[in-house]
Amino acid sequence: MKSISFDKINITDGFWKARQDLNSSTTINAVWNRFSDTGRVKAFEFKWKEGDDCKPHIFWDSDIAKWIESAAYIIHKKPDKELESKIEWLIDRIEENQHPDGYFNLYFTLCEPGKRFTDRTCHELYCLGHLIEAAVAYYNATGKDRFINILCKYLELVEKVFVKENSATFVTPGHEEIELALFKLYNCTGNERWLDLAMFFLDMRGTIPHDQSLYEGTHPKYSQSHLPVREQFEAEGHCVRACYLYSAMAYAALVKKDEKLKVACEKIFDDIINKKMYITGGLGSTHKGEAFTVAYDLPNETAYAETCAAISLAFFAQRMFNLTGDSKYADAIERVMYNGIISGISLDGISFFYVNPLEINLINHTRHACVTNGDPLPITQRKEVFDCSCCPPNLTRFIASVGDYILAENDDAVFVNQFVSSEYEENGKKISIKTEYPSQGTVEIKSTFDKAVAVRIPCWCSRFTATESYTQKDGYIYFDKGISDIVIIFDISPVINLSNPLVWENSGKCAVTSGPVVYCAEGIDNGDLRGLFIKRNPSFTVEYSNEYKANIIKISAVRYKDSGQLYRASKYEKEDTELKLIPYFAFANRGESDMKVWINLE
């Protein structure tokens, strides 16, 4: 099973076309501008000295690297001289400032020279990983190999220090990333040296006693260093670190045909989607360690659900799909694509959430009136840049390369995993998809491939119709080779979803979805959200929003009224009302507001 790379697919219109256009026209420049304002770009001139403003941070290399990767994806689809010259300028600076032995790192060159590879918490290999991903993307986009060569030279040093000499104070990175990047580099160059280096970092993980704890006060689980990777069966620790690791493990399982790694990945993935994932695909139930907690612990207001963690779930799921061909992985990708990832970016494409809560009670932000060190709550409005600004360029690269998730192929069939208006041509054969998804459930597919067409049945879908005859297997609708004109209509009528009874936070509550889109109620539309209950058998009206390129739902509800008493035996008075629900991804675009995904069900 092989996913078709985004560069071979043209997204022609609809939801994702609009998102990609905004990304290319606005977001990529907005992120660049904020990275310039904050000194991240200028830092690459390597002129910063102690006492200057804008001290380079240990992860700034990775911020810029993800921006390069994003810009490379954009120019891969549509050349852009301005973006390319920015990338070239950055590569010039990287080349100039690479140490003679290959080392390159902003922080450890400018701020702590002499301390390289001495602190496992300091993101050096994480930064290198992102630089590799950027270099691979840029090479694929332009055919220029200068950046890759710079990094291969650095990697030779890494191989020497970590594998041959074992002379660093640690063996495996504190923040995983280089592993999956090395697999990409191997995939791009075919050089097994980088495959071996990736496997070295995977195989060593959790086996070195002095390589387990990270920050003071963290358990080895925090950085997935508590067990050898083939013995890890539950999702643990910092979510982004975790899913970057799991992504690498899944790729390794595929290329190495490593059954133990595959089993570990399958168990971990199931642990996530069956026990530790918000309905939005968000991961991370606590700000403490930005981490997975225990099964079924999914608080809404204090959800962490970092944007990067949702993106990392897509990475992991994509590699699991390629490993297994199981549609559930494409289901997970769809869940994050339409919810927990794009909730991280404002509708105007210039500001971002790092944390994506599923509930906002503004009044709770004032609850600690008499102390200044109240418990933290997620911010309620997106920001243009963060001190730790990993999420914005992760969004730009995800959106620019979202084509990666649409199609896959094996010997027997072309698999339509995501319903995005798009075209793919190969050897004179073509498949095209036309749809208004997710605002409509109709998907038209034309294919001239000499293969069956297999269309994923989304996990949320209980009813569909198709114009052509089909068979159903393993979560796919199969249309035989030769059927070239297919129209499928998925029923996207709004659905009332319940949580597993073990999720104590959501007892008695429901979340409304339509197709893959999770909905929420905002105070700005509905007034005080307290005391609102969705009716047991609610009526719906659905209307299209051009702004969201998705539907708005109105649903019948009741509002219980404050009677002035705090407790009473008899029911409170109620009145019928209608609740306006908007896509969760669109929340917090109209000023501060209360918000709820999980709403009481009468």
Q: In terms of CB distance, is 284 or 393 closer to a copy of itself?
A: 284
Provide, rounded to whole angstroms, the least separation between the CB of residue 309 and a copy of itself.
Answer: 14
Provide, rounded to whole angstroms, the least separation between the CB of residue 58 and a copy of itself.
Answer: 20
Q: In terms of CB distance, is 225 or 351 closer to a copy of itself?
A: 225
Provide, rounded to whole angstroms, the least separation between the CB of residue 371 and a copy of itself.
Answer: 4
Q: In terms of CB distance, is 192 or 528 closer to a copy of itself?
A: 528
Q: In terms of CB distance, is 297 or 384 closer to a copy of itself?
A: 297
- The region that residue 143 occupies, defined by phi over 0 for left and psi between -120 and 50 for alpha, beta otherwise, is left
Q: In terms of CB distance, is 23 or 225 closer to a copy of itself?
A: 225
Q: Which of 139, 56, 137, 143 is nearest to 104 (CA)?
A: 56
At 563, the amino acid letter reads S
Q: Chain-centre distance of CA 226, in angstroms?
A: 25
Provide, rounded to whole angstroms, the least separation between the CB of residue 301 and a copy of itself.
Answer: 9
Is 419 in contact with 435 (CB distance < 8 Å)? yes
Q: Which residues pair with 518 in a beta bridge?
A: 513
The alpha-helical segments, DSSP class H, found in 55-214 are 60-77, 81-97, 106-110, 124-142, 146-158, 178-189, 192-204
At 133, the amino acid letter reads E
Q: In terms of CB distance, is 498 or 542 closer to a copy of itself?
A: 498
Provide, rounded to whole angstroms, the least separation between the CB of residue 386 and a copy of itself.
Answer: 21
Is 109 in contact with 160 (CB distance < 8 Å)? no
Q: How many CA atoms lie within 13 A of 113 on its CB side?
A: 7
| Separation CA 213–CA 172 (nearest Å) | 11
Q: In terms of CB distance, is 145 or 301 closer to a copy of itself?
A: 301
Residue written as tokens 């050897």? 427
Provide, rounded to whole angstroms, the least separation between the CB of residue 323 and a copy of itself.
Answer: 22
Q: In terms of CB distance, is 39 or 531 closer to a copy of itself?
A: 531
Provide, rounded to whole angstroms, the least separation between the CB of residue 499 and a copy of itself.
Answer: 6
Is 439 in contact with 468 (CB distance < 8 Å)? no
| Separation CA 75–CA 79 (nearest Å) | 4
Provide, rounded to whole angstroms, the least separation between the CB of residue 171 and a copy of itself.
Answer: 20
At 87, the amino acid letter reads I
DSSP state of 549: T
